[in-house]
Amino acid sequence: MAAGARITSIDEVPERGSHLFTVSDSHGTDREVILVRCGEDPGVRAWVNVCPHEYQRLDRGRGAAMREGEIICPKHGSMFDACAGDCDNGEAAGTTLTAVEIAVEDGAVSLVDEGYTYRHDGPRDNDDDDNDGPSSTSHIGF
Ligand code: FES
């Protein structure tokens, strides 16, 4: 079935940090999504990996910074509630992360959002659109 692609097991989502994966949206554009722990059912949330203030990636490949149930934007330090996705502080105050619908069953986390198709674990393969923000350093070749 199209929905319900398995992302990972809930045990693989770090207590502090995030599990990064890639989906494609309805336009066929790849988007990064982070899974983070949340104190409310079902124990994790999925958010598009972009700070709504200036399109900054929250997880830059090594896990998002988190403290006391909040995701910390690496650019200006605004903190987002890991369960609700909202922000009431700093530069991003009044904004909310974009939610991605997931389900947890028997310890497995699945993508059930009809707006997205699961692509793969980890970051996007390319960085040819506007999702990385100005602070990206990933243009260095091998
Ligand atoms: S870019 Fe995230 S708070 Fe400014």
Q: Does residue 87's CB lie within 6 angstroms of at least one atom of ligand 1?
A: no
Q: Is 63:71 a contact under the CB 8 Å cutoff?
A: no
**In terms of C-beta density within 10 A (0-12 exposed, 13-18 middle, 19 or more buried), how is residue 62 classed?**
exposed
CB burial readout 41-61, b (16+ within 10 A) else e? eeebbbbbbbbbbeebbbbbe
* Cα-to-centroid distance, 6 and ligand 1 (Å): 30
State pLDDT tens for residues 19-38.
999 999 999 999 999 999 99
What's the angle, vertex CA 74, arms to CA 42 and CA 141, rounded to 5? Answer: 105
Q: Does residue 53's CB lie within 6 angstroms of at least one atom of ligand 1?
A: yes
Whether residue 135 is contained in a domain is answered as: no
CATH number for the domain spanning 66: value is 2.102.10.10
pLDDT at 67: 96
Q: Compute CA 126 distance to the chain's CA centroid, rounded to the nearest angstrom.
A: 17
The rounded mean pLDDT for the chain is 90
> How many distinct structural domains can be found in the chain?
1
Whether residue 31 is contained in a domain is answered as: yes
> What pTM did the predictor assign?
0.87
Whether residue 142 is contained in a domain is answered as: no
Whether residue 138 is contained in a domain is answered as: no
Q: Does residue 57's CB lie within 6 angstroms of at least one atom of ligand 1?
A: no
Whether residue 70 is contained in a domain is answered as: yes
The boundaries of the domain holding residue 20 are 5-121
Whether residue 84 is contained in a domain is answered as: yes
Whether residue 127 is contained in a domain is answered as: no
In whole angstroms, give the CA distance from residue 71 to residue 37. 10
Whether residue 113 is contained in a domain is answered as: yes
